[in-house]
Structure 1
């Protein structure tokens, strides 16, 4: 391996250390790495900017806008009020989260869905008297599982599909092309969440409001 390879590998390791420290925002670290790679000539300016034109990345950004619109229009509040309601047990509360969140994640992308739902679920947990520690992991995992239902469900699918389109010139995969595989995985995963997590997750007292 030549010096460019070792240099790029060292940059990747340094970026991992910096992001793991928690002192620097991940996007700033990665942009800095991109600038250094471009300035050193390891990648060209066209290669450095190519990722920003990836159709998967553009789709993720657009879905963040859609999720923000749902949040600010009160759509999340309606979901909490009329669908989640007032469960009496932890398992019932987790079931009311996992099913709608998995469905939403299949069509809105799991990352913006989780970002939108966290404050709403936190407030809901205080209302029903169930610790947020019992609900946040099921929220995250169900969003991940829901993301496997469609091509737009998770950023990974979109980025890989975008790269496939660029490399082959084909139109790429359709939105439901992975559903036959993702749906059984999601069903088994959600069943495992509801079977094991009510007892496995800690019951921590919530003393602060979200974001305080």
Structure 2
């Protein structure tokens, strides 16, 4: 989907669109040192979100040929504002190499298949113990997705250019995960039933 098509599709939903937004560098690690572009903002089921893509230059000089090898990585990020600060927790799909070398500080969920395909990391093991039993059934319904609780937001990250169908899917995923967090956890974190976040927090508003 080209840029104009994304802008048109976003505006049909009543969402805003910006070709670039450097302010996102202050909120998302994927945007640091990059150009946050094709930025879509709006509301999904009463919650603010922001979606954007970045392109990182990975070019390097081949030591054998002394020629520059050009390579870029495109990422799409979708962040849903959950209305309250959450302890950090990150779920990362695991490949064979990461399973061999990336097991440090991994929190097991108790589901062998999920733990084989994903790594859960957090400096808050008690928080993980509180939320994982509720959200694990939701996670098992989706293919492995890289996501995290980051400040007030649930942030998903994927490769490839930003598409409207990906925004729709990741908002559905983030909403399902948030809905599966036990109400007692939300109460401890200080979110009331009517607190849906605001447009100026974590870059997710209009």
Structures share fold, TM-score greater than 0.5? no
Larger radius of gyration, structure 1 or 2? 1
Query: Shorter chain as normaliser: what TM range?
Result: under 0.3
- TM-score by structure 2 length? 0.22
- TM-score by structure 1 length? 0.22
Which has a greater percent of helix? 1
Structure having greater relative contact order (Cα 8 Å, sep ≥ 6): 2
Which has a greater percent of strand? 2
